[in-house]
Amino acid sequence: MGVPFMTVTGRVMGAVVWKPTPAGLPIVTIKIKAVDRYEDEEGVWQDGAEYVVIATAYKDLAVHIRESIHAGDMVIVQGRWETQSWIDRQDRRREQDMFILSDCGPSLKFARRRHEHVVRAEIEAELRVMIRAELQAEMNGR
């Protein structure tokens, strides 16, 4: 049985974290805080329960998020929970639950955005330039 997809609407907390893998696979991580808001008996809006999701995106979606989404933006994301496991440097088995994004976009409830369609060849060219720059900066920092 497949893992069901989940949709979260919330505000991006902090900067989008960009970290390509050594093989050049682009990865971004964003922290999203969803707050259950409700109107009390006197008509005043109150904050209810908070839910924080740390979400990860790969490949083209990662590039688009890096270019389009910023701290404080309201977003709608869709993804699935996945458990990743690995063996650490001390030969211990480690596991981490991750929310892997399949889609991400700005919430248009309180904002307007222009849509820009990109051609795959343009994405790949931009991605190569960004990854080269990131790897060069990493090498120069050592």
CB burial of residue 131 (10 Å; 0-12, 13-18, 19+):
middle
Would you write out the chain's pLDDT as a tens digit for each of its 142 residues?
A: 567 889 999 999 999 999 888 888 899 999 999 998 889 999 999 999 999 999 999 999 999 999 899 999 999 999 999 888 888 889 999 998 889 999 999 998 877 777 666 666 666 677 777 777 777 777 787 5
Hey, what are 2's tokens? Answer: 């497949």
CB 56 within 8 A of CB 99: yes
| Strand-pair category, 27-39 with 6-18 | antiparallel
102/79 Cα distance (integer angstroms)? 5
Q: Which residues on adjacent β-strands are paired with residue 99?
A: 55, 81
pTM: 0.71
Domain extent listing, the chain: 6-141
First to last CA, the chain: 46
Say yes or no: domain 6-141 is CATH 2.40.50.140: yes
127/27 Cα distance (integer angstroms)? 11
